[in-house]
């Protein structure tokens, strides 16, 4: 039976039964290993070779970041050359990307049916866990029992006191006094001796996860004058309504009567008796606050394209997500053509010499596209018999341009239907340029823009809506000759432009694909504007050039970004793959800002937050004062006027639960604190920190309030960082969340 026709339960059952998959080893060999899905569906595992000491290797579903069909690039080609694998086996292979550093395990199934079964099953489980919030997981026995079975070292299906205490310290980050542990153990087991059964451990875990911080909040709304203990506290409908109304939740303004409150209780309360009486318990209250309804971020702006993508204005008005040869760029909206949008743009240098990565060939571009990138940069050179992608300033490998393009084409519009820009850094001979053009036409087909859209003003780029499911080509490293003067028609002038381009070592077949975009050095724009009028200009700068240009003439730079697409790349001196701060560039209207896709630092966090907006579609509209040249121009380095209504942002950090450990200190319980920073124009940048909590990664409580005065909310982002305090070494980031201030809700 085909996998697509099987019930998902049958798929999971087959995965639990186990199957022999061939694992690609670091020794460049493949070895058979029996993989299986654990009974409680929390992880997959395989048994180590008998020659290797130790237990099975485990990959938790919650840590899996992606499943990539096929075995790409050098790994598979090497196996074929060595006679270890056959070309047709590529269809049986897949890779599991896991962990924060996105490592990979490469596997080959016995046949395509088993490959499809495992891919489908893993993707189903990934989606299942992704859609669960903490409240759901705490109530789910399968999830809780993952901890139980992981701590059951002697496989007795019970947990001794020693095993239970080791679980608390090593996995759950809980340092608990012995007296408190003994009290809880006896409460669920009935005696202080013996071991916990699976059912008793579930009760122990739920007792452990009771939120005292939420208990204290509930006490403020109990109206009967008593002080119930943590086991018996509850709110009735009027008390819960009072909580919602007093806290003025923006998306719950419509809640105003007991019937609506009862609906909320029915949704979140797990105790049937409480639910029937119109009461919400501590567990139900926790489930409610952990639900998407109470998320600090407006999820509708993440899940939906809500900005106007149809106005007849160009891309320059938008920030755009971009991948420029291993780094990340995204673009901003100009009025509503492409110029008025920031674009999601990733700079993807294939492999820096000092970087370790699991990505091969097109996998890096797949990663960028999965992040919503809409502008992709290829550094193209002559290969032996075909164009290749490589970077001259790195020690990384080279890859077939055609193979990479074919592999990523099915995913170009996976995140959104809005246009993709392919930026060709052209280092090819005429012959290879012709090959490039042929490959682009053949692989992209009707998606490739080869002529201007009819009935549109040729002096304005189309809007993202008008370019849905289309690919634009931009050539870099070309030389433009002046166009003949005279009263020529638009079409004749355009033909002259193309003729002159072709005479400057650019193959005509490739030039003809540059329908809308051309690259011009920023200081040649004045001359270009006199001669070339209907190919829209794009300039690339490195950080230092950007700083020099904007310091010398900030207002002029902002005005130029209303008419042209500007792209800023990292300095060539960043050999450590570190990322520049994208905020000053976005403040100046730059549509494409390139960051290193492999470096998950604070600047990359800002990038993720910026382009989570507008449905993660790859295009985010600029503020009007970075679009319109009719009002007083803004100086981003020293804004004098008020261009929008300011706001006061008050944030209270209450508590945390189930915090991860620092990657470099896996044996230490963290000393967590929260850093909240705002990023925008200089007047809006501020940092606050909570106190750190000693040795508590399980349920730290801070209860600290901070106030931010923000003059330019549309350019401001708020960044939450969960940090591990260390008196000796640098504090380490354990987790983060970043979002535009305009996406926060009260």
Provide the CATH number for the domain around residue 486.
3.20.20.190
Average pLDDT, the chain: 81
pLDDT of 597 reads: 77
| Contact by Cβ (8 Å): 270, 288 | no
Same domain, 450 and 562: yes
Q: Is there a single domain that holds both residue 243 and residue 177?
A: no
The pLDDT score that the predictor gives to residue 196 is: 93
* pLDDT digits 0-9 by tens, 577-590: 788 999 999 999 99
Q: Same domain for 528 and 387?
A: yes
pLDDT band at 311 (very low <50, low <70, confident <90, very high): low
Highest mean pLDDT: which of 91-95, 183-187, 518-522, 688-692?
A: 688-692
- Do 573 and 707 reside in the same domain of the chain? no
Inter-CA distances, 191 with 57, 196, 284, Å: 35, 10, 29
Tokens 């697509």, residue?
4
Q: Does residue 544 share a domain with residue 451?
A: yes
CATH number, domain with residue 189: 1.10.238.10
Query: What single-letter DSSP state applies at residue 585?
Result: H
In eight-state DSSP terms, residue 563 is T
Share of the chain above pLDDT 90, in %: 41
Structure-token pair, residue 378:
């290829």
Do residues 329 and 456 share a domain? yes
Task: Please enumerate, as own/partner, the contacts of 117-121 that have beta carbons within 8 Å and a separation of 24 or more.
Answer: 117/3, 117/6, 117/11, 117/14, 117/15, 118/15, 118/19, 118/21, 118/35, 118/94, 119/67, 119/69, 119/94, 120/3, 120/4, 120/8, 120/11, 121/8, 121/11, 121/12, 121/14, 121/15, 121/37
Q: What is the pLDDT of residue 629?
A: 62
CA-nearest of 567, 588, 333, 339 to 459 is: 339
- Confidence at residue 519, expressed as pLDDT on a 0 to 100 scale: 64
Provide the CB-side half-sphere exposure for 730 (13 A, CA): 4
Of 208, 229, 260, the one marking the end of a domain is 208
Share above pLDDT 70 across residues of the chain, in percent, rounded to a whole number: 79
- Indicate which CATH number applies to the domain containing 708: 2.60.40.150
Asked if residue 519 lies in contact with residue 565, where contact means CB atoms within 8 angstroms, the answer is: no
Q: Is 71 inside a domain boundary? A: yes
Domain shared by 414 and 440, yes or no: yes
Question: Would residue 593 count as lying in a domain?
Answer: yes
- The number of folded domains in the chain is 5
Instruction: Quote the CA–CA distance of 319 and 492 in Å, as a whole number.
Output: 33
Q: How far apart are CA 655 and CA 54, in angstroms?
A: 37
For position 332, what pLDDT does the model report?
45
As a whole number, mean pLDDT of residues 361-372 equals 76
Residues 83 and 162 in one domain: no
Lowest mean pLDDT among 69-78, 97-106, 427-436, 641-650: 69-78
Are 137 and 61 a contacting pair, CB within 8 Å?
no
Mean pLDDT value across residues 57-69 = 84
The whole-number pLDDT of residue 618 equals: 92
Q: For residue 318, is pLDDT > 50?
A: yes
In a domain, 639, yes or no: no
Q: pLDDT (tens digit, 9 = 90+) per residue, 90-115?
A: 778 898 988 766 677 889 899 999 99
**What value does the mean pLDDT take over residues 639-668?**
83
Q: Minimal CA–CA distance to 666: which of 619, 608, 618, 724? A: 724
Q: Which residue has the higher pLDDT, 179 or 418?
A: 418
State residue 258's pLDDT score: 93
Task: Tell me the C-alpha to C-alpha distance, in Å, between residue 89 and each of 69, 322, 695, 707, 739.
Answer: 12, 34, 50, 59, 43
> With 50 as the cut, is the pLDDT of residue 490 above it?
no
Q: Which of 189, 208, 227 is the last residue of a domain?
A: 208
Question: Domain of 568?
Answer: 315-624
pLDDT, residue 173, reads 73
Any idea how long the chain is? 746
CA–CA separation, 224 and 243 (whole Å): 15
Write the DSSP string, 411-456. GTTSS-SS-EEEEEEE---HHHHHHHHHHHHHHHGGGB--SPPTTS
The band of 74, judged by pLDDT with boundaries at 50, 70 and 90, is low
Based on the domain organization, do 176 and 192 belong to the same domain?
Answer: yes
Q: Which helix (H) or strand (E) holds 508?
A: helix 508-511
Picking from 208, 236, 267, the residue at the C-terminal end of a domain is 208
Q: Tell me the pLDDT band of 31, cut-offs 50, 70 and 90.
A: confident
pLDDT at 21: 93
Query: Is the pLDDT assigned to residue 195 strictly greater than 90?
Result: yes
């Amino acid at each position: 039976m085909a996998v697509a026709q099987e019930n998902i339960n049958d798929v999971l059952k087959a995965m639990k039964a186990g199957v022999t998959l061939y694992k690609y080893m670091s020794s460049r060999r493949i070895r058979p290993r029996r993989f299986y899905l654990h009974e409680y569906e929390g992880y997959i595992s395989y048994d180590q070779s008998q020659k290797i000491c130790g237990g099975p290797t485990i990959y938790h579903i919650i840590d899996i970041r992606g499943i990539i069909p096929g075995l790409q690039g050098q790994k598979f080609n090497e196996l074929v050359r060595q006679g270890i694998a056959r070309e047709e086996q590529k269809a049986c292979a897949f890779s599991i990307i896991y962990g924060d550093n996105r490592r990979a395990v490469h596997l080959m199934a016995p046949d395509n049916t088993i490959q499809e079964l495992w891919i489908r099953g893993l993707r189903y489980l990934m989606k299942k866990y992704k859609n669960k919030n903490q409240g759901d997981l705490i109530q789910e026995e399968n999830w809780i029992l993952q901890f139980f079975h992981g701590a059951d070292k002697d496989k007795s299906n019970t947990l001794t006191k020693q095993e239970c205490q080791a679980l608390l310290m090593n996995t759950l980050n809980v340092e608990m006094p012995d007296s408190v542990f003994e009290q809880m153990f006896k409460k669920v087991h009935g005696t202080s001796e013996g071991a916990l059964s699976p059912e008793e451990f579930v009760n122990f875990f739920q007792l452990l996860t009771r939120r005292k911080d939420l208990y204290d909040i509930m006490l403020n709304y109990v109206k009967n004058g008593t002080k119930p203990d943590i086991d018996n506290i509850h709110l009735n409908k009027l008390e819960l309504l009072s909580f919602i109304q007093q806290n003025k939740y923006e998306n719950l303004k419509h809640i105003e009567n007991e019937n609506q409150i009862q609906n909320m209780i029915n949704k979140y309360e797990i105790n049937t008796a409480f639910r029937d009486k119109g009461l919400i318990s501590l567990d139900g209250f926790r489930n409610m606050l952990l639900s998407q309804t109470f998320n600090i971020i407006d999820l509708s702006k993440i899940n939906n394209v809500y900005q106007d993508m149809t106005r007849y204005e160009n891309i320059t008005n938008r920030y755009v997500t971009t991948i420029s040869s291993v780094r990340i760029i995204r673009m901003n909206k100009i009025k509503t053509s492409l110029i008025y949008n920031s674009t999601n743009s990733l700079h993807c240098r294939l492999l820096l010499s000092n970087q370790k990565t699991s990505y091969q060939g097109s996998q890096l571009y797949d990663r960028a596209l999965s992040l919503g990138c809409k502008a992709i940069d290829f550094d193209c050179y002559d290969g032996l018999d075909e164009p290749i992608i490589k970077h001259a300033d790195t020690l990384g490998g080279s890859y077939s341009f055609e193979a990479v393009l074919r592999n990523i084409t099915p995913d170009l519009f996976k995140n959104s239907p809005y246009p993709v820009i392919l930026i060709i850094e052209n280092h090819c001979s005429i012959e290879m340029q012709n090959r490039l053009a042929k490959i682009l036409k053949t692989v992209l087909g009707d998606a490739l823009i080869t002529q201007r859209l009819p009935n549109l003003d040729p002096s304005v780029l189309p809007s993202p809506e008008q370019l849905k499911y289309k690919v634009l080509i931009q050539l870099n490293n070309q030389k433009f000759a002046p166009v003949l003067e005279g009263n020529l028609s638009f079409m004749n002038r355009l033909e002259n432009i193309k003729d002159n381009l072709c005479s400057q070592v650019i193959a005509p077949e490739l030039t003809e694909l540059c329908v809308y975009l051309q690259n011009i050095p920023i200081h040649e724009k004045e001359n270009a504007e006199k001669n070339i009028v209907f190919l829209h200009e794009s300039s690339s700068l490195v950080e230092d050039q950007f700083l020099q240009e904007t310091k010398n003439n900030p207002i002029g730079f902002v005005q130029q970004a209303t008419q042209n697409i500007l792209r800023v790349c990292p300095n060539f001196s960043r050999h450590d793959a570190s990322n520049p701060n994208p905020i000053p560039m976005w403040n100046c209207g730059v549509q494409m800002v390139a960051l290193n896709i492999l470096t998950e630092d604070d600047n990359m966090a800002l990038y993720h937050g910026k382009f989570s907006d507008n449905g993660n579609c790859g295009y985010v509209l600029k503020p009007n004062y970075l679009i319109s040249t009719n009002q007083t121009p803004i100086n981003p380095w020293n804004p004098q006027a008020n261009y929008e209504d300011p706001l006061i942002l008050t944030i209270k950090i209450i508590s945390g639960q189930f915090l991860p450990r620092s990657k470099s200190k896996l044996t230490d319980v963290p000393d967590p604190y929260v850093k909240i920073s705002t990023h925008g124009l200089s007047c809006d940048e501020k940092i606050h920190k909570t106190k750190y909590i000693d040795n508590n990664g399980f349920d730290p409580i801070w209860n600290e309030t901070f106030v931010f005065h923000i003059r330019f909310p549309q350019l401001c982002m708020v960044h939450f960082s969960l940090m591990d305090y260390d008196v000796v070494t640098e504090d380490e980031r354990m987790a983060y969340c970043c979002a535009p201030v305009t996406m926060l809700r009260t």
